[in-house]
Chains A and B, each alone.
Chain A
Amino acid sequence: MNREEVRQAVVDILEDIAPDEDVSSIKDDISLREQMDLDSMDFLDIVMELRKRFNIEVPESDYQELVSMASCIKYLQPLLKDRQLAS
């Protein structure tokens, strides 16, 4: 996956866990919590979806890496570089 595909993978997850939210306007540098009203339950869902879809384990100590879209991409890209985005 390239950078853009990793971003798309995260957008897909956010779209699933927040069906009423417009995910097309997410700004990469602002915290997701702030933009989308996400709480700790939602972050659990992001982590669970990463496990379910890509078999990636995000330990609790790394949850802070998921704070914004930019930091998500930075954290996930090395883990996803050999993976394909599911169609």
Chain B
Amino acid sequence: MKYDVIVVGSGLSGLAAGIRLAMFDKRVVIVEKHTVVGGLNSYYTRKNRTIDVGLHAMTNYAPKGARSTPLGKLLKQLRLSHDDFRLHEQEMSAIRFPDKCLHFTNDFELFKQEISEQFPDQIDGFMGLVKKIESYDELSLFTSEWTSSQDILKSYISNPILIDMLFCPLMYYGNASERDMDFYQFVIMFKSIFIEGFAKPLGGMTYILNLLVDKYKNLGGELRMDSEVESITSKNGIFKGVNLVGGDQLTADVLISSMGRVETLKCCNPPLELDWEDSGSTGQVSFMESLFALDQEPKNLGYPNSIVFFCTENQFRYEVPAELIDVSSGVLCCPNNFKYPENLSEGMIRLTNLASFRLWNTLSRREYIDAKKEWRAKALENLFTFFPDFRDSVVFLDSFTPKTIYKYTGHLNGAVYGSSKKAKDGTTPIRNLFICGTDQGFLGIVGATLSGISMANLHVLQSKSAQNR
């Protein structure tokens, strides 16, 4: 069977690309290697609990009717209504460092006020930065020079603690590079977290993914699970088709891959010469995450916030740690602390720390299991120097590491935010082979979905050559 488009990966970007293409009667198939959809934003089941993998909260919250926001654009393009996402806003989140704490909600004014109270001598600089951010076109699909956010922030703000406090949430929720951020990514993350804000869909990722899968299938799209790409064939630099593990061959005019840029190029046959720029930019940033199901609401245990980004030392380091994980900073998420119509069935706290794929990957199976327990305990010990102890209330716990992420998603190094070098226009050395998802450049749930939409629009629906096919 010959398709118009093959999409690799049934994460948010792949599903969104599939929906757009099926909407306009393209013959499209999504191939997914795993048995569950979702990619980096998937879910799994343990002891009758369904647990989201990636999702703490959805960024980019916008109210109904805000059509020109990223969420508004996404809904329009997928022809979904705001109500379909069943979003519930956060209560309040915080950035907590040893001597300072900044709160924020989905009302940006509160955050400005917090900064003016906690850092009175920095508010003018901060407002200058906000002005620059607000007028920046971060969604352009054309690649610009890498611009250091550290340098830009230093030109507006002289207090290094405030700079670290601003970086902490933005890096944890979407920075593929260590220590610094390309400024357009900083702008995307700043707007999506501080100006727009957090919400959670009732029913979590399972609900959102099912919504998208149903939409896709109702439009006539085909979804093949348990179908791993073995190789991508091309002739004279033009994409021809894919071979699946197990022997099936699919051909199409266009391939849109969400596997990751380097991961995709490595599958190409005949093989491509990967230059340093390609292989050297493989993402390194990954995390260990532990989930603690509780016998009561986190609020009752002294955890009133939705999300807390913390650093227990004066200097925040966003880099691959020299040990298995870095316990000195992290993210705490309390899924219960969102404005749901009624309480969730069970209390839960999630804890995320930076982790080293390389070190986790050197361990034997036995060592790996022991190390998970040991480092989870260390992370908690450090956490409880800052926050109340909840160990006595834990009824179930589980952890996953960069190795787990690699195993299920195939992203090299378990790099959840992909390569540090983004392919914003999605093009590759092979004609009609395009990248979407984390390596294209838009991050988060809304970002990933927009990535799939943009690439399908740009390279298939709007494309002159596609119209003449």
Contacts A37-B67, A52-B25; A17 near B79 (Cβ below 8 A) = yes
Which residues 273-302 of B have a CB within 8 angstroms of A?
none
Would B24 and A18 count as touching, CB distance under 8 A?
Answer: no
Kindly provide the distance from the CB of A19 to the nearest chain B CB, expressed in whole angstroms: 6
Would A20 and B25 count as touching, CB distance under 8 A?
Answer: no
Q: CB within 8 A of B64: which of A20, A41, A52?
A: A20
How many angstroms from the CA of A39 to the CA of B67 in the assembled complex?
9
Chain A minimum-CB-distance residue to B462:
A44
How many angstroms from the CA of A41 to the CA of B75 in the assembled complex?
12
How many angstroms from the CA of A39 to the CA of B73 in the assembled complex?
9
Which residues 10-68 of A have a CB within 8 angstroms of B?
16-20, 37, 39, 41-42, 44-45, 48, 51-52, 57
How many angstroms from the CA of A19 to the CA of B457 in the assembled complex?
20
Would B79 and A19 count as touching, CB distance under 8 A?
Answer: yes
The contact string, 1 if C-beta is below 8 Å from chain A, for chain B 451-468, is 001000100011000010
B76: CB under 8 A from chain A?
Answer: yes
How many angstroms from the CA of A57 to the CA of B68 in the assembled complex?
27
B314: CB under 8 A from chain A?
Answer: no
Q: CB within 8 A of A20: which of B24, B68, B82?
A: B82
Q: CB within 8 A of B467: which of A18, A44, A57?
A: A57
> In the complex, which residues of chain B have a beta carbon less than 8 angstroms from the beta carbon of A52?
24-25
Would B73 and A19 count as touching, CB distance under 8 A?
Answer: no
Would A19 and B81 count as touching, CB distance under 8 A?
Answer: yes
Would B64 and A45 count as touching, CB distance under 8 A?
Answer: no
User: Interface size (A, Cβ < 8 Å)?
Assistant: 15
Contacts A20-B65, A37-B68, A39-B68; A44 near B461 (Cβ below 8 A) = yes
Kindly provide the distance from the CB of A20 to the nearest chain B CB, expressed in whole angstroms: 6
Chain B minimum-CB-distance residue to A16:
B79
How many angstroms from the CA of A19 to the CA of B82 in the assembled complex?
10
How many B residues touch the partner, as a band? 10 to 19
How many angstroms from the CA of A37 to the CA of B65 in the assembled complex?
10
How many angstroms from the CA of A39 to the CA of B450 in the assembled complex?
14
Kindly provide the distance from the CB of B73 to the nearest chain A CB, expressed in whole angstroms: 6
Would B457 and A41 count as touching, CB distance under 8 A?
Answer: yes
Kindly provide the distance from the CB of A55 to the nearest chain B CB, expressed in whole angstroms: 12
Would A42 and B76 count as touching, CB distance under 8 A?
Answer: yes
> In the complex, which residues of chain A have a beta carbon less than 8 angstroms from the beta carbon of B82?
20
Q: CB within 8 A of B77: which of A20, A41, A51?
A: A41
Would B76 and A41 count as touching, CB distance under 8 A?
Answer: yes
> In the complex, which residues of chain A have a beta carbon less than 8 angstroms from the beta carbon of B67?
18, 20, 37
Chain A minimum-CB-distance residue to B83:
A20
> In the complex, which residues of chain B have a beta carbon less than 8 angstroms from the beta carbon of A42?
76
- Kindly name the residue among A18, A37, A41 whose own CB sees the greatest number of chain B CB atoms within 10 A: A41
Would A41 and B73 count as touching, CB distance under 8 A?
Answer: yes
Kindly provide the distance from the CB of A29 to the nearest chain B CB, expressed in whole angstroms: 22
How many angstroms from the CA of A30 to the CA of B7 in the assembled complex?
40
Kindly provide the distance from the CB of A85 to the nearest chain B CB, expressed in whole angstroms: 20
> In the complex, which residues of chain A have a beta carbon less than 8 angstroms from the beta carbon of B68?
37, 39
Chain A minimum-CB-distance residue to B74:
A41
How many angstroms from the CA of A80 to the CA of B420 in the assembled complex?
50
Kindly provide the distance from the CB of A53 to the nearest chain B CB, expressed in whole angstroms: 11
> In the complex, which residues of chain A have a beta carbon less than 8 angstroms from the beta carbon of B79?
16-17, 19
How many angstroms from the CA of A39 to the CA of B25 in the assembled complex?
23
Chain A minimum-CB-distance residue to B67:
A37
> In the complex, which residues of chain A have a beta carbon less than 8 angstroms from the beta carbon of B65?
20
Would A18 and B76 count as touching, CB distance under 8 A?
Answer: yes
Kindly provide the distance from the CB of B79 to the nearest chain A CB, expressed in whole angstroms: 7
- Kindly name the residue among A16, A42, A48 whose own CB sees the greatest number of chain B CB atoms within 10 A: A48
Chain B minimum-CB-distance residue to A39:
B68
> In the complex, which residues of chain B have a beta carbon less than 8 angstroms from the beta carbon of A37?
67-68
Chain A minimum-CB-distance residue to B81:
A19
> In the complex, which residues of chain B have a beta carbon less than 8 angstroms from the beta carbon of A48?
24, 461
> In the complex, which residues of chain B have a beta carbon less than 8 angstroms from the beta carbon of A41?
73, 76-77, 453, 457
Chain B minimum-CB-distance residue to A17:
B76
> In the complex, which residues of chain A have a beta carbon less than 8 angstroms from the beta carbon of B462?
44
Q: Which 3 interchain pairs have the tightest Cβ spacing?
A: A37-B67, A48-B24, A37-B68
Q: Could you give 25 example pairs across A and B, Cβ below 8 Å?
A: A16-B79, A17-B76, A17-B79, A18-B76, A19-B79, A19-B81, A20-B64, A20-B65, A20-B82, A37-B67, A37-B68, A39-B68, A39-B73, A41-B73, A41-B76, A41-B453, A41-B457, A42-B76, A44-B457, A45-B76, A48-B24, A48-B461, A51-B24, A52-B24, A57-B467
Given contacts A18-B76, A41-B73, A48-B24, 20 further A-B pairs with CB under 8 A are A17-B76, A17-B79, A18-B67, A19-B79, A20-B64, A20-B65, A20-B81, A20-B82, A37-B67, A37-B68, A39-B68, A39-B73, A41-B76, A41-B77, A44-B457, A45-B77, A48-B461, A51-B24, A52-B25, A57-B467
